[in-house]
Amino acid sequence: MLKLNGLKPERVFCYFEEICAIPHGSEHMEPIAAYCMAFAEKNGLKAVRDKANNVIIYKDAAPGYESAEPILLQGHLDMVCQKTEDCRIDFLKEGLDLYVEGDFVKARGTTLGADNGIAVAMVLAILEDKTLEHPAIEAVFTTDEEIGMIGAGRLDFSLLKAKKMINLDAEEIDVLTVSCAGGSDFQVQLPIAREKKVGAKVILTVKGLLGGHSGVEIHKGRINAARLGGAILRCTEADVISVNSGDKANAIPNHCCMELCVTAPNVFERELETVRELLEEYRQQEPELTLSVVYGSVEPYEVLTAETRALLVGALTTPPDGVVAMSRAIEGLVETSLNLGILATKEDALFLHFALRSNKEAALAALEEEMKTYFQPEWIRTFGHYPPWEFKENSSLQRLYKELYREQFGSEVKVEAIHAGLECGVFSAGIEGLDCIAIGPQLYDVHTVHERLSISSTEQLYGLLVKLLKASR
């Protein structure tokens, strides 16, 4: 493990390194929650851990701040675990391999998990520091945010008194986020029927796509590899053995692997030319896009029947994809979207997992109803609904942050609503009258193996956060 303690602010990066050494992918929250509880005990702070492994740590007000309103600081404990094909790290057992390159902290071969590990690290540094001036702090670390904000949805809000909240899950130092999308998960299990065919196995693999966050990058024209797989299948009559793409619903898949059974090689070679022409159409959007074709032996294979194959192609190409509607009220804001994040061939079904998002509750419900028209009711499962975070007029927290940002940087902070989901929506629904903002240091390419965290922006953001706490009398 590369020691990062020499970076400033030192304690923030010390805690970030410790967090990255602990496996903390979604659905595996026990070790990181235990780490937070051990931190609280070591620092003599009251803490609560619930059945969902959410952790709340309480810190009393500094002298002179006893009558000030408490402040809620919030981040999530889980990370999206993605890695390169040649990376051997076991996310269930091993930590990340961190390194510094210029102004950035990165991880070799994997996602960095600065979304949202750096938030947890900053809050721990604040909780530890007895010299800071601040109101009473309620630090809330939620679990399984990346797979539907599950931890926040199970949180007992009666354990919290604060009516002001600073969420640290934003990704741009010069942006103040004041509203976000709600969302839901839409899963489909297409029943499989198979038949035996004798032919040559051919493995088609599309890779090198940019991928990315299905909220943050959904408007950037990045190609969904699962959808592209459906378009490729339309170019060929080869039988399908299996097709797989993506492993996170909220990440735009960047690769797709199809196992085909080819009974007419000459015809298939001509079809491949059509496939290559199709891929050339996307070259400007996806400059690293590649197609791999690997031929195997001639044998009997269990392939999808023509009817099942048609169902699959229809499921991949017929429903809407990406941006569904732009906001009429906020210029440049994606209002409603969906992302096919997971496509998997199972023994008895073809599994599709869509992530739906909207900044309007009614639009989200309408998109769910539209999606239901493409599939049989018994194939569908919807869950993981989380509410949008509506913009709050006359927010004292917004005003104070904008003033402090102007003093520190000599410019105005950008105030934005975003299409990505934040837990602010869940907290706003659970705490009546909550005044909330979302801020964060500069992150790039989150949810991908190219994820990186700006060191200088982390120092700036941490300093600004300390000033905000001090000014919150």
Any idea which residues carry the catalytic annotation?
78, 145
H or E segment to which residue 293 belongs:
strand 290-304
Q: Which amino acid is at 125?
A: A
- Find tokens 């909330």 and name the residue: 436
- Quick check: 218 and 323 in contact, CB under 8 A? yes
Q: Do the bridges between strand 414-421 and strand 435-438 make them parallel or antiparallel, or are there none, so unpaired?
A: unpaired
The distance in angstroms from the start CA to the end CA of the chain is 41
DSSP string, 137-184: EEEEEES-GGGTSHHHHT--GGG---SEEEE-----TTEEEEEEEEEE
In whole angstroms, what is the distance from residue 27 CA to residue 145 CA? 10
In whole angstroms, what is the distance from residue 104 CA to residue 420 CA? 24
The distance from CA 455 to its chain's CA centroid, rounded to whole angstroms, is: 21
Angle at 115 between CA 112 and CA 120, to 5 degrees: 105
In whole angstroms, what is the distance from residue 423 CA to residue 169 CA? 9
